[in-house]
Structure 1
Amino acid sequence: MNPAERRDIELDCARLINVYATLNDQARWEDLVALFTADGLMTRPTAPQDPIVGREALLAAFRARPPRTTQHICSNIVVTAETEDTASASSVILLYVDPDKPPLVGTFHDRFVRTDGVWQFSERRGGLSFQPLP
């Protein structure tokens, strides 16, 4: 792949990370789940040992959350184009949920695939960098 193709892949995948955060904050679960491949895997930063696999399971997991107001802030996004149709990334996430508590600080390690010209998450593995205060 040439440098322009590499930059396009990196930009498309970084955008996917930001779109995920936006849809999550808007509680647009169907649109969010569509960002994953049919067999996509995700672990929440607060439950990295509990993978959720497949769009149906992802949708059920998001819908099971109690209603809440959140603000996700993504940072330090580094995407690596591996091939013309695969990439990986790491990023830092701040999650604000409760105005009386500090935000959760975590990371995501992502795997992306491009199918029919569309980039999607094949894996989104989260973890916490710091444990929340009691």
Structure 2
Amino acid sequence: MASGSTQPLADPHRAEIERQCARLVHVYANANDAADWDKVAALYAEDGVMFRPTAAADGVAGRDRILASLRARPPRTTRHVCANVVVDVLSETEATGESAMLLFIGSAKPLVGSFHDRFVLTDEGWRFAERRGSLTFGA
């Protein structure tokens, strides 16, 4: 479901859910740039699915497989800048979100894209049920 296409949850906790989900987006970017793969993988639900912007058709399902996929990456220096984060609360346990992403990789040309996220409330707190990246410019 596209971000902005639902009515916001009329609940006093909506703003807090939005804040927590938006925080996940930013924590993800910082942990990714620090190559803290354990932290990045822990931001997904156990059965979460990750679609990288550079491989948008190839999902990696499950926290353990996501972690293995991240650890298999060659080392690199990156800086992710996330903006225009909009979270739509669907219920007390589900939300969707969209954000713009600018990725700097060393001296390479920056990549510009977006993430479309599905968030779910777990026993560990809010996590990504699905994180689907795509590129608009670059590659």
- When normalised by structure 2's length, the TM-score is 0.89
Write out per-residue CA displacement over residues 49-91 of structure 1, whole angstroms, 9 at most, x where no aligned residue: 1001111111111111111110000011000011011000000
The answer for the alignment partner of 1:106 in structure 2 is: 113
Deviations 1:19-65 (A, max 9, x none): 00000000100111011011100100010010011111111111111
Is the counterpart of residue 65 in structure 1 residue 73 in structure 2? yes
Aligned residues: 131
Matched, 1:18 2:26: yes
Give the CA deviation at 1:103: 0.8
Counterpart of 1:97 in structure 2 is 105
Identity in percent: 50
Unpaired runs of 5+ in structure 1?
A: none
Partner amino acid for 2:76? R
* TM-score relative to the length of structure 1: 0.93
The 4+ residue runs of structure 1 with deviation greater than 2 A are 1-4
Residues 2-41 of structure 1 correspond to what in structure 2 (within 5 A)?
2-41=10-49
2:59 maps to a residue whose letter is P
Q: For the Cα contact (< 8 Å) 2:76–2:106, is it kept in 1?
A: no
Whole-Å separation in 2 of the counterparts to 1:117 and 1:32: 14
RMSD over aligned Cα, in angstroms? Answer: 1.3
> CA offsets, 1:95-132, max 9 Å, x none?
10032x32100110000011236100000000001233
- The structure-2 alpha-carbon separation of the partners of 1:68 and 1:117, relative to structure 1 and needing over 3 Å to count, comes to closer
Task: Write the distance in 2 (CA, Å) between the matches of 1:16 and 1:4.
Answer: 20
Q: Distance in 2 between matches of 1:118 and 1:74?
A: 21
- Gaps in structure 2 of 5+ consecutive residues: 1-8
